[in-house]
Copies of this chain bind each other. A is one copy, B any other.
Amino acid sequence: MEYTKPLAKLIEYFQKLPSIGPKTAMRLALHIVKMPENEVNNFANALIEAKTKISYCKTCFNMSCNDPCEVCSDVTRNKSVICVVGETKDLMAIEKTNEYHGLYHVLQGLISPIDGIGPDDIRVKELLYRVNQNDVKEVILALNPSVEGEATSLYLGKLLKPFNIKISRIAFGLPMGAELEYADEMTLARALEGRVEL
């Protein structure tokens, strides 16, 4: 038996989303059919609304309905610090800590030679422009501890050096609650390397 056509189509769309495999896609599609009709309509509208209304802040490239975005236009924010992240989701993760009150810069990607992504493909020159124009005192690099993140951090570190501002990188080490004996060697090595004097 083939899936009935509208179901097959919906499963296909769900499957195109990240981290949704064929089984989950099927479960989601079947769930949609069981949902009340008005909820399905609301969901469909939410999809279209998110797509049409949300764009990127032309200053920091955060996703937002407004330009400048909520962070850039917030007068209580410390405008002398810029935290550089790879993607909007990283910005959101940092916002959730409630520990950071400066501005952001979303690179919209990381340097990855094997994927053909160079510095010109991400928002590097826009970062330099901001650092150059405004009264920025510190740039915090908060990129993933991956090959691409490291490469991008190194590259940005070099580029930003001439500006004579503080450049920092978030700490890599043991996550809270982890046990030393189960940590992988890379993490342990970075934790040792990044040891802090007491």
Q: Which residues of A contact B (CB under 8 A)?
A: 1-7, 9-10, 12-13, 16-20, 24, 26-33, 35, 37, 39-54, 63-66, 69-71, 74, 87-89, 92, 95
Contacts and interface: CB of A to CB of B under 8 A. Distances in A.
Tell me what chain A mostly uses at the interface: helix, strand, loop, or mixed.
helix
A81 B18 CA distance: 40
B88 A9 contact: no
Given A7-B50, A54-B4, A65-B4, A89 B30 contact: yes
Residue from the set A31, A43, A69 with the largest chain B CB neighbour count within 10 Å = A43
B33 A51 contact: yes
Contacts of A6: 46, 49-50, 53-54, 65
A85 to B, nearest CB: 13
B53 A1 contact: no
A79 B13 CA distance: 34
29 contacts: A1-B71, A1-B74, A1-B92, A3-B92, A4-B54, A4-B64, A4-B65, A4-B69, A4-B70, A5-B65, A6-B53, A6-B65, A7-B50, A7-B63, A9-B49, A9-B50, A13-B43, A17-B31, A19-B24, A26-B92, A27-B89, A33-B51, A33-B54, A40-B48, A44-B44, A44-B45, A44-B47, A44-B48, A47-B47
A89 B25 CA distance: 11
Nearest to A5: B65
Contacts of A4: 54, 63-66, 69-70
Contacts of A52: 37
